[in-house]
Every structure is written in structure tokens, then in C-alpha cells.
Amino acid sequence: MPTRALVIGGLVLGCIYGVFMGLYGATRPDTSSFLQLLATTLKVPLLFLLTLCVTFPSLYVFSALAGSRLKFEQTLRLLLAAVAINLALLASLGPVVGFFTLSTQSYPFMIVLNVIMLGFSGLWGLIFLRRALVHVFAPKEPDAPVTLDIAVDGSDIAPVEGPVKGQEGSSDDGSADVTVPLVGAPAIPILPGASPYARSLRRDRPEEPGLLVFRGWLVVYGVVGAQMGWVLRPFIGSPDLPFTWFREREGNFLQGLFDAIASLFS
Amino acid sequence: MSLIATTNDLLRTRHPERLVESLPTRQLILLLIVAGFAYGAIMGSYTLRPLQALFSGTKVPILLTASSIVCLPSFFVINTLLGLRDDFPVVFRALISTQLTMAIVLVSLAPFTAFAYLSVEDYNFAKVFNGIMFLVASLAGHVQLGRVYEPLIQRDPRHRIGRRAWLTLYIVVTIQLAWMLRPFVGAPGMPTAFFRDGVWDNAYVVVINEVWNLFTR
């Protein structure tokens, strides 16, 4: 799928959920506002777009530093795909939100419901991303020698490679031949399961740092996304306040969520 | 476009010192200035004063280069005394790649800084947040430096002393330099300025005085 299709598809899906989310503002008894419906329709895709804009540059820089095999375009497309899945699920939850909007007057309930919907679909997007990443960073086909980039003297001596047949099925994951060519040193063949070094090599997998960067990024993405939602509020539109495109800078996402939950119980 | 390609190569290479050698000096300087300025401009836009953003943008490349220049002569002599002068060109290029990596990482973190300014209206938070961003960038630069130093240390353990000497010198000098170059964020109540009053104050004396006041008050 081309990158542009991913972006446009994502934006459309975001708008669909935005319509259902903004429905509350449009159907409030006293202060109904179609502007709120319009604002929310535009803000939901914007929320995802801006979150990606904020978090993507550093993700790319750190994954490249950590030795990720993914190129710029590939990294971007992977994330766009994850966001598109997130938005597809979110859009499909739209009718549920619409149903509750028409059957509920409680504003705090709508806040909590929307946070749950966004959180739930976001989690799915991240699960997809994680699965894709494990696939991307998984060791390649078992016959490929694992190259440890240890330059002993910093000179340009070509790596010496000497694949050695391993005993098939002797290791847990069925990988067969592992050769560690040391630059500037004779190749050290390692039979899987034969030496403790081979085991430790497989356990800390040399290509893991890239995966680690992505894992850390998932947390950052979640935090920025939640706070971005707070910065872009109002999405639903409080029944006591007139329509505004944006609210004052104050508080943060967690504070707002706890307030909504607290007022549900009071 | 070639700047972006250079950035990409710098991030992906496992031999930054060789890459630095192969690139034209002008390209390296340009990259450092552009990247440093970009982060500085965002950093200085806390109060939305364009002049402060311009000042901060100018100061970040200075911060990234000046302390290295101050430390280089003593670092060169230390390397010579350790008997490592033959490796100095490699180490020197590694240091250049470290500063470039810092600048690149800083730019990639700039959206976070802008977003933090947008989310939280608190000057102290802004200061601490920028401190964390610089810390992250420094750590990334340190990792890049380690990539060059690791094989060197394996061959000659005296390089370990060389690296520690560099880090100590660099940190001590950079803290004072950063203090001199204040303000970076620009306090809301203070006028826009390239330097604060008391530019020649000493960061360490200020800290010692603060601690002293804490206990004697």
C-alpha cells in the first residue's frame, strides 16, 4: 500500500470517529453546537497526525543509532500502518459511541467512554506494531551467519567467514549454523548449544537494541498521545461551556481523566 | 538534501571516524550549525520572543563546539603523555562525530520540547525539560564515542584513561560554558538578552554559594 493511501485512509477513518465523538456537542439540549461537531471531526485525525509528528523524528534517530535495519521510509510506513489499524478499530467503535451519546446525558461518562475507546484501539495498534517489530527484528534465516562487528584493530581487514555445519535440532529454536567472524582475527565457529558463549550470544541477540528503542518509544508515544488529546481539547464539549476551538492551557491529561472519574462517582 | 543523507549516514555507521574523514569539513560544520540552531531556536521560543529564539539558536552550536575546542589542547597533551599520539587523528574524528550526533539527536527531540512548552506553562519545568533533552543527546553522543573507543581500548587499555580524561575535562568545561551562555530558555520576567548580567560569574562558585546559604541561613 502506498504511503499516501495510508495517510489518507487514516485521516478518513479518524474523521469518521470524530463525527460520532462530536455528536454529543451537536445534540446537547441547551448549548448545541454544530461547530463542535466540525471541530471534533477535524481534531481526531489531527490528534494522531500531530502525535506522530512529535514522536517520529526521535524514534527514527534512535533506532538508526541502535542499528535498526529499517530505512526512513520503511520506519514511517510501519508506524503509519499501526496508526491506520488503530484508527480503523476506532472508527468501527464510532457507532457505539454514537449510541451512548443519544442515550446518555452524563458528560463525565462520555469522557470516560471516549478515553476507554481511544485507549482500547490504541492498545491494538501498539500490539500490531509490536508483532510487526518482533518479525522485523527476528534473526534472519538460520543459515545466515551472525556477524559480530568487533573491529580488533580498527583497520579495514575483511571479515573471514567459515560456516561450520551445526548439529541440526540440537538447539531450542532449531537454528543451525552460527558463525562469528571477527574482523582481523581468525573466524571462530560456534556450534549452537556447543559453547556457553553461543548460548549467551543467542540470549542477548546483537540486533536487539533496535527493538528496545521501539519498546521505549511505545511508552513515549502513549504519553505524548494522551497529553496531545488534552492540549487539543475540547473534543466532546462540556454542556456548561460555550463552544471554543481550544481551551486554556492548564492541567494535564491524567488530572482531567481523574476529575471525570471522580465526578462520575459523586 | 545532502545534509539529510549525511545525517542518515552518521546515524547508521558503525565507524563514525571513517565517515567523518570521508566527508568535506564544510558539510560537517554546516550540519552542526543547522542542527544546533534548529534546536536552539525551539528552545528559545518559550516566551515566543523571536529575538530570544534567534539568540538561543546561535548559542547552541557555540555550546556544542567551544568547550571541545577549549579541551582539545590538554586532551592532545594527555594522549601524547599516554603514548597514544598515533591514534589521535582517529580519536579527534570520533569527537567530531560525537558532537554531530548530539546535534542531530537534539533536533530530533525538538518536537518534544515544543510540545512540552505547549502543554505546561511553567518556566522551571521548561528548564528541567531542556536539561533532560541535553542529557539524552549527550548520552547518545557518548554511545557514538564508545563505538570508536571500544576497539581502541581493546588494543591498548591506556585509551580508557584517555577517554575518562576527555569526559572529565569536557563536562567540567561545558557546565561553566553553559552557565556563561545563559539564557537559553529565557525567563518570562527577564528581558531578551544574548548574555545575562554576570556572564563572567563562575557556575561552581554560584552552586557552592547556594549550598553554603542553604546551611547557614
- What residues in B contact A61, CB-CB < 8 Å? 11, 104-105, 108, 140
- What residues in B contact A60, CB-CB < 8 Å? 108
**How many independent structural domains does chain B possess?**
1
- Identity of the residue in A57, A64, A230 whose CB atom sits nearest the CB atom of B12: A64
Is residue A181 predicted with pLDDT exceeding 70? Answer: no
pTM of the full structure: 0.77
Q: How confident is the model at residue A167 (pLDDT cuts 50, 70, 90)?
A: very low
Measured CA to CA, the distance from residue A256 to residue A241 in angstroms comes to 16
Does B12 contact A231 at a Cβ distance shorter than 8 Å? no
Which pLDDT does position A180 carry in this prediction? 41
Q: Residue A237: left (phi > 0), alpha (psi -120 to 50), or beta? A: left
Which pLDDT does position B189 carry in this prediction? 80
State whether residue A248 sits within 8 Å of chain B by CB: no
Give the 3-state secondary structure of residue A247. coil
Closest chain A C-alpha to B170 CA, distance in angstroms:
22
Do you find a cis peptide bond into B183, omega within 30 degrees of 0? yes
Measured CA to CA, the distance from residue B54 to residue B45 in angstroms comes to 9
Domain ranges of chain A: 3-139+207-265, 142-206
Give the tens place of pLDDT for each residue, A112-123. Answer: 999 999 999 999
Measured CA to CA, the distance from residue A29 to residue A239 in angstroms comes to 8
Which pLDDT does position A62 carry in this prediction? 92
- Nearest Cα residue in chain B from A65: B11
Q: Where are the beta strands (DSSP E) in B92-159?
A: none
Least confident of A32-36, A103-107, B124-128, B156-160: A32-36
Does A60 contact B108 at a Cβ distance shorter than 8 Å? yes
State whether residue A217 sits within 8 Å of chain B by CB: no
Does A65 contact B143 at a Cβ distance shorter than 8 Å? yes
Does A61 contact B151 at a Cβ distance shorter than 8 Å? no
Is residue A190 predicted with pLDDT exceeding 70? Answer: no
Give the tens place of pLDDT for each residue, A226-238. Answer: 889 888 888 888 8
By the 10 Å C-beta count (0-12 exposed, 13-18 middle, 19+ buried), A73 is classed as exposed
Is residue A149 predicted with pLDDT exceeding 60? Answer: no
State whether residue A213 sits within 8 Å of chain B by CB: no
Query: What percent helix, strand, coil does chain B show, rounded to 5?
Result: 80, 0, 20
Measured CA to CA, the distance from residue A71 to residue A55 in angstroms comes to 17
- For residue A179, the cross-strand partners are A189
A-B Cβ pairs (cutoff 8 Å, strict) = 69
- Nearest Cα residue in chain B from A62: B105
Q: Is the ipTM of this complex over 0.85?
A: no
Which pLDDT does position A81 carry in this prediction? 92
Closest chain B C-alpha to A30 CA, distance in angstroms:
31
Which pLDDT does position B104 carry in this prediction? 95
Tell me which amino acid residue B47 is. T
Pick from A89, A19, A9, A105: which is nearest to A49 by CA? A9
| pLDDT tens sequence for chain B (217 residues) | 588 888 888 888 888 888 888 888 899 999 999 999 999 999 999 988 889 999 999 999 999 999 999 999 999 999 999 999 999 999 999 999 999 999 999 999 999 999 999 888 888 888 889 999 999 999 999 999 999 999 999 999 999 999 999 999 999 999 889 888 888 888 888 888 888 877 777 888 888 888 888 888 6
Return the HEC string of B84-146: CHHHHHHHHHHHHHHHHHHHHHHHHHHHHHHHHHHHCCCHHHHHHHHHHHHHHHHHHHHHHHH
